[in-house]
Structure 1
Amino acid sequence: MRASHRAVVRANRTISVLKRPTPIPNDYELLVAPLYAGLCGTDIQILRGLRSDPTPIIGHEGVARVVSAGSGVPERLTPGTLVCINPTHRDDPSFLLGHNVDGLLQERVLIPRSAVCNGLVLPLCEIVNTEISTLLEPLAVVQYGLRLLAEHRPHTLVVFGDGVIGHIAVRAAVELLGVTTRIVHMHHTKRGMDWSSNHPVPAVHCVLHDTKGAQFLSELPADERVAVLLATPRDATLLCLDTALHNLRGELVIDLLGGLSPDAVSPLLPDVNLPQIRAANCAGSPNPAVQVTVSTITGTKVCLMGHRGVANKHLSDAAAELTKHPLRYRELITHVVSLDEAANIMRQLAASRDRVIDDRRLIKLAVQIAPEHNLVGGAG
């Protein structure tokens, strides 16, 4: 009888825990057992129908244990090795973990030859084998973006977005930009502001993205360099971009980290292909990164950049940061649940714009897939 395993599956307009046949790895393929997997803002957009990513099993953040390997797999990836999988392949668009290939929200995942041979499976130190590992990939993305912005030596950093990326950014910013950098955190909702008030970060100015918030931005010094990180969902990025362009008066550089629909156009930048700029830097390539200077219809110059995914080095740096400063980020993991509990929460998130789960605001959901046992073969 063929082995099977449990997975959180999107099918028939709902989300359920179902049995799936467990694959056997062929040459240069790996079978891994996810230990912890995170639910990110992009995943929530998929659940809500804001994105059309086809895979029925999402999840691209977390750690796994190698279960079995096909011939030709490097010796460093022997069964039992703790690994993370870089979800973005620089050269193969057919591999985007948890988007167009089955993701980590299941007990077994087959990692295809293309990803294995490209080095996208990274061995890890055992110290990150906890729920903190669900912050590894998002922290790597944030650090990459902040380092690009740091090249402009900003006096002020404005972070739009009060999801996990925004909260990671304001916690990581001081170390990468310096203690003299002013940090402004723009929030979408009053509930988001309340959460930040209860989990303050020293020297961070928390502001609601409303009329008063826009005025706050317009009153920042006009003779300073200002960096903007758009840590926003696909349906909010353009609004936040326009708020920044309308109100910030200093020398401006903006990272289009947030999602953008393929036809996204800003009325202030009607001739600028924003999705193309956002996608110009993929998985840490090219180096140096593509940055484009454009002018708004009012004549304001702005430097724009963006990026999809990270390089392996960024993941290694993020692992080192989490190992060194776990308490800096641990409070962002607000919910730790099982596969069955995750399916229930995902149904709630799909049906509502609300992010309050069990009377607590959801920042980061970490899913503990299964206890470590039966690492050879299927799950049952």
Structure 2
Amino acid sequence: MNRAAGIDPVATKPAAVSISGTGTHRAIVRTATATALAVADRPTIIPGPGELSIATEVAGVCGTDIQLLRGLRADPATVIGHEGIGRIAAVGVGTDPELTAGTLVVINPTHPTEPSFLLGHNIDGLWQERTLVPATAVRGGLVLPLPATTDPGLAPLLEPLAVAGYALEAFAPFDVRTLVIIGDGTVGHLAVRAARRRLGPAVRTVLVHHTPAGLRFSEAGRHRADVLVDHGRLTDLRPGPGGVAVLLATPRDATIRALDAVLAMPLDGGLVIDVVGGLPPGTRSAMLPGVDLVALRAANCGGLPDPIAIASVTSAAGRRVRILGHRGVANRHLLDAAAELARDPERYRELVTHETDLDGAVGVLRLLARSRNRVVDGRRLVKLAIRFTAGRVAGRHPDVPR
């Protein structure tokens, strides 16, 4: 199929042209079983009206990606990955004139009103040299230009920092004296580092870990939480006076246990909980009778509604609890995260613990899919960055004129 396209911005940023041809690009492809991964050539599609082709520069690996590889989610995308940045490689007719070939962009992976677009879940994602962004996402404003000075080494942190920022934004109206973060993955560590800018300099941060290796990583960090806790000691935690906010940054198979442990904590002040971690369908908690947690989490999507919907419920013990959840982020959360990373990059850089290319990523991903051990090459893996070689293609590439 012949489609209008722009020029691949390997070194320059020329105007869009119309060309024809066929070609392939390299991608990490899921095959018959969840853990069967391989780098393979895929057809490169020239974008049609309103579409864009994005050349990935750096992609990240998220906890939900690992859940997909373990078969814990049934999302159909053959190529996954929703964190990262890239450059516009080809432009379909009728797109926003600001979205020109060569522009550095981040893609908001979650459409707030159109469930058919969920990048890396039901739409093929960023673990490939070219990603086709459909017109519904482009029209929805989900392709966001970034400053040319954006540090690509921090790109895998942009979307998870936006997730943490969304949660902290929801907590800000409350009198939060203590922030408890359950989950020592990327979102948890980012929330620790961003908390005081959002909640004030006096907020006390508590990071709850699930493994000894995670606890050791935090103990050695330059920007550690005020209190580091093993998950087995959570019910012994005494947050002290004032309101408590809890961020559940947990894998979907651990969220309900963490929620029940939080509801059993002895508290002196108010409690507000954000269920960022996923939930299997039909999940309920005996500690919150009658509360549809899955529906509650789905009530906020991609920044809508605004202000965020927060439920007030009564626990089985008679405690009034404010609880919310959210999927995805708004564009403003991504742009704020980009500004924060540019403002204080060294506060966050140590969280990108591992880096590899497309071929090297396959071995790391297979390891993460088979085991919950996140020690790779002798070091705790928090965030893996996959770097792509600009313009590297197989065969004749349709968005590069010959």
What is the TM-score normalised by the length of structure 1? Answer: 0.96
Q: Does 1:6 align with 2:26?
A: yes
Q: Does 1:299 align with 2:321?
A: no
Q: Does 1:354 align with 2:373?
A: yes
Letter in 2 for 1:10: R
Which secondary structure does the structure 1 equivalent of 2:264 belong to? helix
Sort the Cα spacing of 1:354 and 1:273 in 2 relative to 1 into closer, same or farther, 3 A: same
Q: Does 1:239 align with 2:257?
A: yes
- Give aligned pairs, total: 376
Cross-structure match for 1:337: 356
Cross-structure match for 1:290: 309
1:242–1:268 Cα contact (<8 Å) kept: yes
Quote how far apart the aligned CAs of 1:35 are.
Answer: 0.4
Q: Segments of 4+ in structure 1 off by > 2 A?
A: 200-203, 371-376
Quote how far apart the aligned CAs of 1:46 are.
Answer: 1.1
Cross-structure match for 2:136: 114
Cross-structure match for 2:244: 226
Quote how far apart the aligned CAs of 1:201 are.
Answer: 2.3
2:207–2:225 Cα contact (<8 Å) kept: no
Which secondary structure does the structure 1 equivalent of 2:149 belong to? helix
Which secondary structure does the structure 2 equivalent of 1:247 belong to? coil
Cross-structure match for 2:297: 278
1:3–1:378 Cα contact (<8 Å) kept: no
Cross-structure match for 2:235: 214
Which secondary structure does the structure 2 equivalent of 1:63 belong to? strand
Cross-structure match for 2:102: 80
Cross-structure match for 2:177: 155
Which secondary structure does the structure 2 equivalent of 1:272 belong to? coil
2:192–2:224 Cα contact (<8 Å) kept: no
Distance between the aligned counterparts of 1:3 and 1:282, measured in 2? 36
Cross-structure match for 1:201: 223
Note the residue ranges of structure 1 that are not aligned, 5 or more in a row: none
Moved more, 170-179 or 128-137: 128-137
Match of 1:97 among 116, 119, 138: 119
Distance between the aligned counterparts of 2:204 and 2:325, measured in 1? 22
Letter in 2 for 1:3: G
Quote how far apart the aligned CAs of 1:350 are.
Answer: 1.1
Letter in 2 for 1:252: L
The C-alpha deviation readout for 1:200-255, integer Å capped at 9, x for no partner, is: 42552111010x3321x2x332x421000001110111111111100141310000
1:65–1:80 Cα contact (<8 Å) kept: yes
Quote how far apart the aligned CAs of 1:63 are.
Answer: 0.6
Which secondary structure does the structure 2 equivalent of 1:143 belong to? helix
Quote how far apart the aligned CAs of 1:2 are.
Answer: 2.2
Distance between the aligned counterparts of 2:391 and 2:209, measured in 1? 39
Quote how far apart the aligned CAs of 1:353 are.
Answer: 1.3
Distance between the aligned counterparts of 1:106 and 1:203, measured in 2? 35
Moved more, 309-318 or 99-108: 309-318
Which secondary structure does the structure 1 equivalent of 2:348 belong to? helix
Which secondary structure does the structure 2 equivalent of 1:128 belong to? coil
Distance between the aligned counterparts of 2:38 and 2:121, measured in 1? 18
Letter in 1 for 2:122: N
Letter in 1 for 2:180: V
Letter in 2 for 1:119: G
Cross-structure match for 1:32: 54
Root mean square deviation, CA, Å: 1.7
Q: Does 1:69 align with 2:91?
A: yes
2:218–2:224 Cα contact (<8 Å) kept: no
Sort the Cα spacing of 1:138 and 1:174 in 2 relative to 1 into closer, same or farther, 3 A: same
Letter in 2 for 1:246: A
Q: Does 1:138 align with 2:160?
A: yes
What is the TM-score normalised by the length of structure 2? Answer: 0.91
Distance between the aligned counterparts of 1:228 and 1:56, measured in 2? 34
2:223–2:347 Cα contact (<8 Å) kept: no
More helix by share: 1
Which secondary structure does the structure 1 equivalent of 2:346 belong to? helix
1:5–1:378 Cα contact (<8 Å) kept: no
Distance between the aligned counterparts of 2:242 and 2:113, measured in 1? 38
Q: Does 1:179 align with 2:201?
A: yes
Cross-structure match for 2:15: none
Distance between the aligned counterparts of 2:129 and 2:401, measured in 1? 7
Cross-structure match for 2:3: none
Identity among equivalent pairs (%): 50
1:39–1:61 Cα contact (<8 Å) kept: yes
The C-alpha deviation readout for 1:149-176, integer Å capped at 9, x for no partner, is: 1111201100000011101010110111
Distance between the aligned counterparts of 2:25 and 2:151, measured in 1? 21
Quote how far apart the aligned CAs of 1:270 are.
Answer: 2.6
1:67–1:376 Cα contact (<8 Å) kept: no
1:57–1:98 Cα contact (<8 Å) kept: yes
Quote how far apart the aligned CAs of 1:147 are.
Answer: 1.1
Distance between the aligned counterparts of 1:361 and 1:379, measured in 2? 44
The C-alpha deviation readout for 1:297-334, integer Å capped at 9, x for no partner, is: 11011000111111111111111001101111100000
Match of 1:43 among 65, 72, 79: 65
Quote how far apart the aligned CAs of 1:268 are.
Answer: 0.4
1:107–1:379 Cα contact (<8 Å) kept: no
Letter in 2 for 1:235: D
Letter in 2 for 1:5: H
